[in-house]
Structure 1
Amino acid sequence: MNIQLSTWLQRVAAPALVIAAAALSGCAIAPSTPASLVPATVEAGTRHSQTVSVAVSGVSSHATAQRHLSDDSVAEAIATAIDKNKTFSQVIKGGAGNLRLTVALLTADYPAMGLNFTVKNEMIWELKRADGSTVWKESIRSEGSATTSEAFAGVERIRLAAERAVSNNIAQGLGKIAKLKL
């Protein structure tokens, strides 16, 4: 019986403990980088000659989103996407642009469990002139998904899905701005 128990421990229990330890060590959520939030493409349209400043709110205070996203990382991703796509002539830090773009996270729906995760969010985009008058305001809903084939750990799938939801929201928002006649 001792030989059988020893063989069982070597073949079954030891590898199971190693797998469990590896899974538990990966439970910390790695923060998203602004680069991972920048959309690959934004619908082309008008390239506005004005400068713009960008401010984001609501992300850092959301119970789940704040684990891997921040207002600053989303704002930096929006600014990078604006620069990359030439939506405006320049992004001005500190709110001194000809226009002020504010983006606020209204809702974020994260799955509790599953194999494939889809994160849904809604952000309100508002573009104002320097005098405070509103040029455009719209609520934009987006989603992003991640599968087990992309990431085995659930926390990693959540992060990937959340990044894709934000990236899709940025692409939609800037696509709509590119259609505006300023």
Structure 2
Amino acid sequence: MNRNDNYERFNENESAILFSDKTIRRGFIRKVYALLLAQLIVTCIFITIFLYVPEVKLASRQYPGIYIAALVGTFVLIIALTCFEGLRRKWPLNIIMLGVFTLFEGWLLGSISSYYGKDEVLMAVGITTIIVFSLSIFAFQTKYIIFDTQMMMGGDKKYSLSPEEYIFAALTLYLDIVNLFLYILQLINHSNN
């Protein structure tokens, strides 16, 4: 019996027991937030390029096929990473797939951001950063407050992750942040118009 077979039989009680171990919990959080930070840095680089390099902005508008390919790639990778445990647990395939997903998502967010004003995008990035940082600090200081943190840390909840699910946890938090950013960007745009 190999290590992956053990995790296929993973249940909520085992998750709670493992996450009660401080070393395992800290290691899990460290992996998730390191991946999340890398994803956010890549995304910010894409947004910056689309905002400040006119040729890239123009190319993204002239060749919508690239945007569509990135959109399709994003959906395919989300489905693959969420539906197939083996893909998101098998190293280095899981990191590669998360990296490619992040590149696709970075392209999409950069392209979307290019349709807004620079000040609006920067304000949305700033507000999103403050909210995410505040919620993260709050989640670490309080037990089981934010749903995705609850899901990551297990416990008596219906949905929980094993400590080996750091790719899925990073993906989930990243998508939460992306959605928050897009929502804030739309609010800022509407308030300015």
**TM-score, structure 2 length as denominator?**
0.31
- Tell me which structure has the larger Cα radius of gyration: 1
Write 1 or 2 for the structure with the bigger share of helix. 2
**TM-score, structure 1 length as denominator?**
0.33
Write 1 or 2 for the structure with the bigger share of strand. 1
Name which structure has the greater RCO, CA cutoff 8 Å, separation 6+: 2
